[in-house]
Amino acid sequence: MTKIFRGNGRRYLDFSYVPPRLPHREKEIAILLELLEPIIMGEIEAYSIPVLYGKTGTGKTTTAKKVLEILSEKEMKIHAHTMLINCGINQKPFSVVQRISHQILETYVRGYSLEEMIEMIYDALEIRDEFLILVLDEIDELLRFDRGRLLQVVSKIGETRGVRRIFPVLIARRYEQILDLPDHVRNLISGPLIHFKPYTIDQMRDIIIDRIRLSINENCISENAIKVISIISSVLEGGDARAAISILLNAGDLAEREGDDKILVDHVRRIYEQRSSYIYRFLGKLEPKLTRILSCLAEIFSKKRDEYIINTSVMSEIQLCMANRFMQPLTFREIEGLLEKLCERKILLKVNNSYMMVSISPMSILM
């Protein structure tokens, strides 16, 4: 078996891994650190709850983890615990508070109301003169369930005690979920908004290259494979870095299983094809001309395992294939028209006026 991955390379492609640097999220890290600066300096009353929001895979959670990592190495004027809770898993307020109690009280508290449990957590923090920076990830799920009750209780107890001890940081996929909250809850979330925009193709390439340096042996992935992962994850997956890392990992596994010494475009296409099975619904509904041209493309790219762009050379081969196999001579303009239709059906992709075969493998078409 060939060795695509470094000795412990796969761990660097795990979603829980926080890399040494986050390309194209330096600005967001700096903003969040600045927002938490009042806590670091002991000016706790100056804090207001921020919201990090954006689509899945845009670096929100990893940015928050990186900031907590940086805070753990800083010298603070107060003693502050840091904690990140995934509300997609812990969707109920009781589940969230149980997680907090396990860290602060070092036990799971049962048989108490939500308010009583938070009071107990506050008591422990007050006795030890400690504080808690609490990152609530995927807050959309918790808000859908409790309509902001947990945030309201935390805020109310902080006001009653006279000293705020818990400082939430919210991570949401959609800011609209927060706008839909009752006014009295929404007013509690008065901090700045940090919008995480989807990664572009070039930004995605930088992220992928960083992970490749950590996880993949030298010369074990082609430049074209990197480009195709960048295109798929930014254009087809909406700028999702998680999709890029997942495709890289699975394409590497596929290359190793098949004894190839390098990750090629062919491996990437076949992995993505498994993620986007909707394409098969269109294949059986194509008009004869589109089926034929797709068959020609499959034949051509089955021999060009590391190519994906339908350039003039490939179009000449399509022209020859259509004439010889199907007795159907076509001009370049007619071929372009058919390629456009395949793009409309999401079987091919068009980026910067270039037609590409990235989302479906030749093998599937030829079977």
CA distance linking residue 118 with residue 124, whole number of Å: 10
CATH of the domain at 234: 1.10.8.60
Do the domain assignments include residue 355?
yes
| Angle in degrees, CA 56, 100, 179, rounded to 5 | 45
Are β-strands 349-351 and 354-356 bridged in parallel, bridged antiparallel, or unpaired?
antiparallel
Do the domain assignments include residue 289?
yes
Spell out the residues 6+ positions from residue 43 whose beta carbon is closer than 8 angstroms to its own.
none
- Look at residue 112 in the predicted model and tell me its pLDDT: 85
Do the domain assignments include residue 18?
no
The amino acid at residue 328 is: Q
CA distance linking residue 169 with residue 131, whole number of Å: 14
CATH of the domain at 295: 1.10.10.10
CA distance linking residue 329 with residue 51, whole number of Å: 58
Regarding whether 105 and 31 lie in a shared domain, the answer is: yes
Regarding whether 59 and 191 lie in a shared domain, the answer is: yes
Tokens at 308, concatenated: 């994906």
Domain end, chosen from 249, 275, 301, is at 275
Query: Does residue 169 contact residue 201 with C-beta atoms inside 8 Å?
Result: no
Print pLDDT tens along the chain (367 aa). 469 999 899 999 998 899 999 999 999 999 999 988 888 887 777 788 899 999 999 999 999 999 999 988 877 777 889 999 999 888 788 889 989 998 898 877 777 888 989 999 999 999 999 999 999 999 988 888 888 888 889 888 888 888 889 999 999 998 887 887 888 878 888 788 999 999 999 999 999 999 999 999 999 999 999 999 999 999 999 999 999 999 999 999 999 999 999 999 999 999 998 877 656 666 667 889 999 999 999 999 999 999 999 999 999 999 999 999 999 999 999 999 999 999 998 889 999 999 999 988 898 887 6
Query: Does residue 294 contact residue 343 with C-beta atoms inside 8 Å?
Result: no
Regarding whether 267 and 252 lie in a shared domain, the answer is: yes
Regarding whether 316 and 358 lie in a shared domain, the answer is: yes
Residue with tokens 């920076």: 133
Regarding whether 186 and 208 lie in a shared domain, the answer is: no
- Look at residue 54 in the predicted model and tell me its pLDDT: 95
Q: What's the burial of 351, exposed, middle or buried (CB within 10 Å: 0-12/13-18/19+)?
A: middle
Regarding whether 46 and 153 lie in a shared domain, the answer is: yes
Tokens at 222, concatenated: 């082609």
| CB atoms near residue 41 (< 10 Å) | 12
CATH of the domain at 97: 3.40.50.300
CA distance linking residue 251 with residue 61, whole number of Å: 24
Tokens at 317, concatenated: 């081969």
Regarding whether 67 and 138 lie in a shared domain, the answer is: yes
Regarding whether 118 and 143 lie in a shared domain, the answer is: yes
Regarding whether 128 and 38 lie in a shared domain, the answer is: yes
Q: What's the burial of 353, exposed, middle or buried (CB within 10 Å: 0-12/13-18/19+)?
A: exposed
Domains contained in the chain, number: 3
| Angle at which helices 149-161 and 139-146 cross, to 10° | 90
Regarding whether 314 and 181 lie in a shared domain, the answer is: no
Question: Phi and psi at residue 82, in whole multiples of 5°?
Answer: -125, 145
Domain end, chosen from 178, 196, 214, is at 196
CA distances for 40 relative to 74, 80, 95, 282, angstroms: 8, 8, 28, 56
User: Three-class SS string for the chain?
Assistant: CCCCECCCHHHHHCCCCCCCCCCCCHHHHHHHHHHHHHHHCCCHHHCCCCEEEECCCCCHHHHHHHHHHHHHCCCCCCEEEEEEEECCCCCCHHHHHHHHHHHHCCCCCCCCCHHHHHHHHHHHHHHCCEEEEEEEECHHHHHHHHCCHHHHHHHHHHHHHCCCCEEEEEEECCCHHHHCCCHHHHCCCCCCEEEECCCCHHHHHHHHHHHHHHHECCCCECHHHHHHHHHHHHHHCCCCHHHHHHHHHHHHHHHHHCCCCCECHHHHHHHHHHHCCCHHHHHCCCCHHHHHHHHHHHHHHHHCCCCCECCHHHHHHHHHHHHHHHCCCCCHHHHHHHHHHHHHCCCCEEECCEEECCCCCHHHHHC
- Look at residue 363 in the predicted model and tell me its pLDDT: 86
- Look at residue 277 in the predicted model and tell me its pLDDT: 65
Do the domain assignments include residue 265?
yes
Which structural domain range is residue 155 located in?
A: 26-196
- Look at residue 145 in the predicted model and tell me its pLDDT: 85
The b/e string for 148-180 (b: 16+ C-beta within 10 A; e otherwise) is bebbbbbbebbeeeeebbbbbbbbbbebebbee
